[in-house]
């Protein structure tokens, strides 16, 4: 298939994806759409829940395998939209619509690249396309659920909007539930032990704590308290418990366990992690995928956001058309030339890997 047809089909597919609501855990419409599109292109396509995947036609289990992965779920549109988020709108070289940038542009560009190689014989490696669900909520029904249905994977390209820079490192995420415990009492009589004040002392410790290991790509570990509440409704009752939530963004220098232990030593409140699944990840600069990108003149960067890269247990390079700064914004858009450039870059990268 020639490059112009690949591009035109990709744009048409993206418009259909925009017009089909696909909130996390509600991606059945876009899953059907992607399944049908691939079938119409002559691809032997499979599906696991709302995850759509396909192997290259001449798949050979004796060869290494490269996974091409992106997600087709979206967040819900925010109240700032002036356009209909589900109406694809072209204007001044931009395509507007919910999910156009995150990560619809990557989905269609990776799909186009996969189609470019689908029927080719004698490739030195296999290609598998996986268009997955639940990425926006880090759900267990996406790439994590699909993984056991895939043959062994050696490395992966994860399609996320990075302005086509190679995000070799990605921050991990750990959410901590903190509880400060005091003793209830009457405020007028200065009774009890105020759990809210205890929480404030601990929050101040967390706010000013500096982790000594700094990543050259991701910077230091970032710790941010985002929620604070007591169960009290009465103004005159000293609270016995105060709960707060800590958002921790890890660099590749620390494990979840190391960060949790260090923070717990700082505070008297109890800190409990909701999950430790979303680890920080790093693909080394000498990996063939990164070296292939460097040969093409692509730049290395780190990514402050978390993606399915965190859940893929093999070396993975995050790269794609679009700009992460536009993700989840009102009147989300992607430049049409970014889609064309994305297809070209993915094809070049896969070729260079050979």
* Interatomic CA distance for residues 244 and 179, integer angstroms: 6
Q: What pLDDT score does 258 carry?
A: 97
φ/ψ of 16, rounded to 5, equals -65, -40
Helices 256-266 & 195-208 angle (0-180, nearest 10)? 130
| pLDDT bucket at 65, cuts 50 / 70 / 90 | very high
* Interatomic CA distance for residues 63 and 85, integer angstroms: 43
pLDDT tens for 270-326 read 999 998 899 999 999 999 999 999 999 999 999 988 999 999 999 999 999 999 999
Question: Can you tell me the mean pLDDT for 233-244?
Answer: 94
Report the top-level CATH class of 172-273. Answer: alpha beta
Residue 256 CA to chain centroid, in angstroms?
A: 18
Strand residues in the chain grouped as ranges (E): 45-48, 51-55, 65-71, 89-91, 94-96, 126-132, 155-158, 166-170, 172-181, 185-186, 222-230, 237-238, 241-250, 270-273, 281-282, 300-303, 316-318, 333-335
pLDDT tens for 253-282 read 999 999 999 999 999 999 999 988 999 999
Helices 3-18 & 336-353 angle (0-180, nearest 10)? 120
Is the predicted pLDDT of residue 120 greater than 90, yes or no? yes
Residue 284 CB neighbour total at 10 angstroms: 11
Is the predicted pLDDT of residue 63 greater than 90, yes or no? yes
pLDDT tens for 199-210 read 999 999 999 999
**pTM given for the model:** 0.90
Question: Can you tell me the mean pLDDT for 170-185?
Answer: 96
Nearest to 94 by CA among 326, 295, 350: 326
Q: What pLDDT score does 205 carry?
A: 98
Is the predicted pLDDT of residue 354 greater than 80, yes or no? no
Q: Are 236 and 182 in contact (CB under 8 A)?
A: no
Question: Can you tell me the mean pLDDT for 116-128?
Answer: 96
Q: Whose structure tokens read 């704590």?
A: 209
Question: Can you tell me the mean pLDDT for 57-70?
Answer: 98
| pLDDT bucket at 73, cuts 50 / 70 / 90 | very high
User: Measuring CA to CA, how many Å separate 38 from each of 27, 192, 270?
Assistant: 17, 66, 50
Architecture label for domain 3-170+280-353: 3-Layer(aba) Sandwich (3.40)
* Interatomic CA distance for residues 189 and 206, integer angstroms: 31
Q: What pLDDT score does 1 carry?
A: 67
The ranges of the chain annotated as CATH 3.40.630.10 are: 3-170+280-353
Which tokens hold the place of 129? Answer: 């396309």
Q: Are 105 and 111 in contact (CB under 8 A)?
A: no
- The helix/strand/coil state of 129 is strand
Q: What pLDDT score does 189 carry?
A: 87
* Interatomic CA distance for residues 207 and 174, integer angstroms: 16
The ranges of the chain annotated as CATH 3.30.70.360 are: 172-273
User: Measuring CA to CA, how many Å separate 323 from each of 44, 102, 255?
Assistant: 32, 8, 28
Question: Can you tell me the mean pLDDT for 44-72?
Answer: 98
Is the predicted pLDDT of residue 61 greater than 90, yes or no? yes
pLDDT tens for 76-110 read 999 999 999 999 999 999 999 999 999 999 999 99
Which tokens hold the place of 263? Answer: 């923070």
| pLDDT bucket at 2, cuts 50 / 70 / 90 | confident
* Interatomic CA distance for residues 132 and 149, integer angstroms: 13
- The helix/strand/coil state of 219 is strand
| pLDDT bucket at 346, cuts 50 / 70 / 90 | very high
β-bridge mates for residue 250, sequence order:
172
């Amino acid at each position: 298939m020639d490059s112009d047809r690949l591009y035109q089909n990709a744009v048409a597919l993206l418009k259909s994806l925009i017009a089909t609501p696909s909130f996390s855990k509600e991606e059945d419409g876009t899953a059907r759409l992607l399944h049908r599109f691939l079938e119409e292109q002559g691809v032997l396509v499979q599906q696991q829940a709302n995850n759509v995947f396909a192997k290259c036609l001449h798949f050979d289990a004796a060869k290494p395998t490269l996974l091409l992965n992106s997600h087709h779920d979206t967040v819900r549109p925010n109240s700032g939209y002036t356009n209909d988020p589900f109406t694809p709108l072209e204007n001044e070289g931009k395509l507007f619509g919910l999910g156009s940038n995150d990560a619809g542009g990557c989905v269609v560009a990776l799909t186009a690249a996969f189609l470019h190689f689908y029927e080719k014989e004698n490739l030195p490696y296999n290609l598998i396309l996986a268009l997955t669900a639940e990425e926006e909520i880090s759900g267990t029904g996406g790439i994590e659920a699909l993984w056991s249905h895939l043959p062994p994977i050696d490395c992966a390209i994860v399609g996320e909007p990075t302005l086509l820079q190679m995000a070799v490192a990605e921050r991990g995420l750990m959410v901590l539930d903190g509880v400060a415990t005091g003793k209830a009492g009457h405020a007028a009589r200065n009774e009890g032990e105020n759990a809210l004040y205890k929480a404030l002392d601990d929050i101040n410790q967390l706010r000013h704590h500096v982790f000594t290991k700094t990543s050259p790509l991701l910077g230091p570990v970032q710790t941010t308290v985002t929620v604070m509440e007591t169960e009290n409704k009465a103004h005159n009752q000293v609270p016995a418990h105060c709960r707060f939530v800590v958002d921790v963004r890890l660099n590749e220098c620390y494990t979840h366990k190391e960060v949790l232990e260090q923070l717990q030593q700082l505070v008297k409140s109890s800190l409990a992690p909701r999950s430790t699944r979303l680890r920080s990840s790093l693909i080394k600069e000498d990996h063939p995928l990164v070296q292939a990108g460097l040969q093409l003149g692509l730049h290395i960067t780190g990514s402050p956001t978390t993606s399915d890269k965190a859940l893929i247990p093999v070396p993975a390079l995050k790269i794609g058309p679009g700009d992460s700064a536009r993700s989840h914004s009102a009147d989300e858009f992607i430049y049409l030339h970014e889609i064309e450039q994305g297809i070209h870059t993915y094809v070049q990268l896969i070729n260079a890997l050979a």
